Amino acid sequence: EYDVSKLSLSHTARYSCCRASPLICPNQGLVAELDVIRRSRSLEGEERSALSYQRAIAVIKAFPKPITAKNLHGEVSKLPYLGQKLMSMIEEYVEDGQITESAKNRDSPRFQALSAFTTIYGIGPHTARKLHAEGMRTIHDLEYHFGEKETSAGSELSSGDGHAEDEEKILERSIQVSLTLRDDFKEKILRDEVEEMNSVVMRELDALLTGCTSTIVGGYRRGKPQSNDVDIVITHTDAKGGAAKIKGLCKKFVRRLYERGLVTHVMHLSSFRAPNALRTTQWDSLEKALTVFILPPSPDGCQPRRRIHRRLDLIFAAPEVYWTAIVGWTGSTMFERDLRLWAKERRGLKFDSAGITRRHDSKAFFPKNEREVFKLLGLDWVPPLLRNA
Ligand code: TTP
Ligand code: MN
Ligand code: MN
Ligand code: MN
Residue 3 — very low, low, confident or very high, per pLDDT cuts 50/70/90?
low
Cα torsion angle, 254, 257, 259, 264, sign: negative
- 55 and 173 part of one domain: no
Q: Are residues 350 and 231 in the same domain?
A: yes
CA-nearest residue, atom 17 of ligand 1: 331
Selection from 281, 242, 272, 264 nearest residue 366 by Cα: 242
Instruction: Answer yes or no: is pLDDT of 54 > 60.
Output: yes
Q: Are 239 and 323 in contact (CB under 8 A)?
A: no
**pLDDT of amino acid 164:** 55
Nearest-10 crossing angle of helices 249-259, 191-208: 110
Lowest average pLDDT, out of 74-88, 158-172, 237-251, goes to: 158-172
- For 78, residues 6+ apart whose C-beta sits below 8 A from its C-beta are 12
User: Could you tell me the CATH number of the domain that includes residue 154?
Assistant: 1.10.150
Residue of 382, 355, 387, 360 lying closest to 371 (CA atoms): 382
Which of 107, 133, 150 is where one domain is finished? 107
CA–centroid distance, residue 116 to ligand 2 (Å):
19
Per the CB < 8 A criterion, the answer to whether 355 and 305 are in contact is: no
242 lines ligand 1 (CB under 6 A): no
At 297, the pLDDT band (50, 70, 90 cuts) reads confident
Containing H/E element for 212? strand 212-216
In whole angstroms, how far apart are CA 206 and each of 209, 264, 320? 5, 20, 20
pLDDT band, residue 160 (cuts 50/70/90): very low
SS3 of the chain: helix, strand, coil, percent, to 5:
50, 15, 40
- Domain CATH for 351: 3.30.460.10
The whole-number pLDDT of residue 243 equals: 95
- Do 44 and 85 lie in a common domain? yes
Answer yes or no: is the C-beta of 226 below 6 A from any ligand 1 atom.
no
Cα 272 from Cα 13, distance rounded (Å):
36
Q: Pick the atom of ligand 1 nearest to 188's CA.
A: 11
What does the DSSP assignment read for 264-332? Answer: EEEEEEE-S--TTS---TT--SSEEEEEEE-PPPPTTSSS------EEEEEEE--GGGHHHHHHHHH--
| pLDDT (0 to 100) of residue 280 | 41
- Once rounded to an integer, what is the mean pLDDT over residues 139-144? 96
Please check whether residues 85 and 142 belong to one and the same domain.
no
pLDDT at 277: 42
Are residues 218 and 283 both part of a single domain? yes
Residues 90 and 212 in one domain: no
Nearest CA to 356 among 368, 366, 345, 346? 366
Higher pLDDT, 160 or 114: 114
Q: pLDDT above 90 covers what percent of the chain?
A: 83
337-357 tens-digit pLDDT: 999 999 999 999 999 999 999
Closest to 156 measured CA to CA, from 250, 50, 62:
250
| Domain final residue, candidates 180, 203, 219 | 180
Q: Which residues surround ligand 2, an ion (CB under 5 A)?
A: 218-219, 229, 231
230 C-alpha vs ligand 1 centroid, how far in Å? 9
Of 313 and 277, more confident: 313
Residue 223, pLDDT above cutoff 50: yes
The Cα–Cα gap between 43 and 114 comes to: 7
What is the structure's pLDDT at 149?
60
Measured from the alpha carbon of residue 265, the closest ligand is: 4
Q: Across the strands, what pairs with 310?
A: 293
CA of 182 to the centre of ligand 4 (A): 9
Number of independent structural domains in the chain: 3
pLDDT, residue 281, reads 40
Are residues 187 and 258 located together in one domain of the fold? Answer: yes
The pLDDT mean for the chain works out to 91
**Average pLDDT estimate for 88-106:** 98
Q: pLDDT at position 150, please?
A: 55
Q: Count CA atoms within 13 Å of residue 125 on its CB side.
A: 12
Q: What is the DSSP letter of 79?
A: S
- 320 and 348: one domain? yes
Taking only the tens place, the pLDDT of each residue in 198-210 is 999 999 999 999 9
Please write the tens of the pLDDT for every residue from 326-335: 999 999 999 9
- What residues make up the domain containing 218? 183-386
* Ligand 1 nearest atom to the CA of residue 189, by list position: 11
Distance from the alpha carbon of residue 127 to the mean position of ligand 1, in angstroms = 20
Give SS3 for 357.
strand
pTM assigned to the model: 0.92
CA of 77 to the centre of ligand 3 (A): 35
Answer yes or no: do 50 and 133 share one domain: no
